[in-house]
Structures are given as structure tokens and as C-alpha cells.
A and B are shown apart, each in its own frame.
Chain A
Amino acid sequence: GAVVSQHPSRVICKSGTSVKIECRSLDFQATTMFWYRQFPKQSLMLMATSNEGSKATYEQGVEKDKFLINHASLTLSTLTVTSAHPEDSSFYICSAQTVGAVLNQPQHFGDGTRLSIL
């Protein structure tokens, strides 16, 4: 149980393109989803917390207009990298928590999206 699907797994596109990444909870409802960014051989850095039906909460230093987050339902959150540039190339990972989950429960992660901007 508690499966999170992330799509696409790999994107290669030209500079200036906007890219949308989807994160779905397949067998549970998630009021909260998280978006992380990970550079090679480094740890995960939280970008934003996505709350169903409300605006996302962005971490310091993350551009809201650059990384658009939409969490329109209890099973889907999307991250759109707008006008992507080579420096946006990275591994993006989402995670989700079940409805009513408190801090003593783990997060469930998608398999990540490797974004390469040429």
C-alpha cells in the first residue's frame, strides 16, 4: 500500500520550455505532498509543501513563479518548471502523506523525475 506514482521519469527538453511533473497517490488520499530537488551525490532539499485546495508553501530561496505547484485533488499534485534553463536540470522527487497523518508517520516517495535542459 501507500504507492506514489511520479510522471514522467525522465524529461529532456530545450531551454525555455515549461515542464510539468505529476505526483499521484495511487491507493490513498494525500492532503499534503512535498516537492524535493536533488543534485548528484547530494541530499534532498525541500522546495515546497503542497496542500490540497490551498496555496503551496515555498522554502526560502525557491522562486514561486518559477516552480508552480498545483494540488487540485487529494491524489494529485503537479510541479511546473516554467521557462526551464540548464541550471534547472536536476532530479525532482515528490512525496505524500496520508490524510490525517501526523508527524510520527513516514512519507511515501515517488520514483523521481530526472530533468535535463539542453
Chain B
Amino acid sequence: SQQGEEDPQALSIQEGENATMNCSYKTSINNLQWYRQNSGRGLVHLILIRSNEREKHSGRLRVTLDTSKKSSSLLITASRAADTASYFCATVFEMDSSYKLIFGSGTRLLVRP
């Protein structure tokens, strides 16, 4: 399977704490993307990090990428109850001049108020 793995599968933290989610993938990549999904909804793009980048920030989000280990992490600082959602990493898979996203298994984050 091309699908990557994420850990932990589920994470429960107290509001104000930091949340770290990890993603591992299998093939070489051009970029890695992180998405958020609220329960029963579609996905919202959070951050895209290119293969030549090591770290990227967006507000309370920090993404790192280690291509030598084929892994990435998403850190949410000072978490809020509204951050409760599932978070997925995704890599772009290229074949026959077409591209598609391959999603990781996801991390379900619960932020307790």
C-alpha cells in the first residue's frame, strides 16, 4: 500500500497543551501536505511543505520534514477545544503524468476544555 502511517492514532490533551502528530511515508516526495477534517466534514488544507524545506510555520502550526527518515510532524501549540478534529498528512504520488494525493492513516485529536 502506498498509504503512509500516522501516530498516534488518537491523542487527547488538555486545552493549552501542545499536540504533536507524526507521519511516515514510503516513497520519495515532491511535497507533503497536512489537512484537517472536522467530524463528518470535508478536508481543509493546513500547510504544504516542499521536499527541500525542513520546517514551516503557519500561526500556531509548525510542520517539520525529514526526507532522510521519510517522516514529518505537525505541532499545534497552545491547543484550543476548537482544534478537536482528525489530522491527515498526504503525499503526492505521480504516475503517467498524473498526480494524486495519498493520505496517511490520520490522527484523531481531542482537546479537552
Chain B residues within an 8 Å CB radius of A44: 43, 88, 103
In Å, the complex CA distance between A110 and B45 comes to 12
Contact for A103 among B40, B43, B44, B92, CB less than 8 A:
B92
Identify which of B67-75, B77-85, B94-102 touches chain A.
B94-102
Considering only CB atoms and an 8 Å cut-off, how many residues of chain A contact the other chain?
27
Contact B40 A46 (CB under 8 A): no
Contact B42 A111 (CB under 8 A): yes
In Å, the complex CA distance between A103 and B106 comes to 21
Assuming the A-B contacts A103-B92, A111-B42, are A43 and B101 also in contact, with contact meaning beta carbons closer than 8 angstroms in the complex? no
In Å, the complex CA distance between A112 and B35 comes to 15
Is residue A28 contacting chain B, with contact meaning CB distance below 8 A? no
Contact A104 B31 (CB under 8 A): yes
Assuming the A-B contacts A34-B101, A43-B106, A44-B103, are A106 and B88 also in contact, with contact meaning beta carbons closer than 8 angstroms in the complex? no
- Tell me the smallest distance from the CB of B1 to a CB of chain A, in Å: 10
In Å, the complex CA distance between A43 and B106 comes to 6
Contact for A112 among B40, B98, B100, B102, CB less than 8 A:
B40
In Å, the complex CA distance between A104 and B104 comes to 18
Contact A111 B41 (CB under 8 A): yes
Chain A residues within an 8 Å CB radius of B26: none
Contact A109 B43 (CB under 8 A): yes
- Most chain B CB atoms below 10 A, which of A34, A91, A104, A111: A104
Residue of A nearest to B44 (CB): A109
Assuming the A-B contacts A106-B48, A111-B42, A112-B42, are A57 and B98 also in contact, with contact meaning beta carbons closer than 8 angstroms in the complex? yes
In addition to A42-B106, A106-B45, 8 A-B residue pairs with Cβ atoms within 8 Å of each other are A4-B42, A32-B98, A93-B43, A102-B99, A103-B99, A108-B45, A109-B35, A110-B42
Interface residues of A (CB under 8 A from B): 4, 6, 32, 34, 41-46, 49, 57, 91, 93, 95, 102-112, 114
9 A-B residue pairs with CB within 8 Å: A34-B101, A41-B108, A43-B103, A46-B102, A49-B98, A93-B42, A103-B99, A112-B40, A112-B41
Which 9 A-B pairs give the minimum distances between C-beta atoms?
A: A109-B42, A106-B45, A109-B43, A111-B42, A103-B92, A103-B99, A43-B103, A44-B103, A43-B105
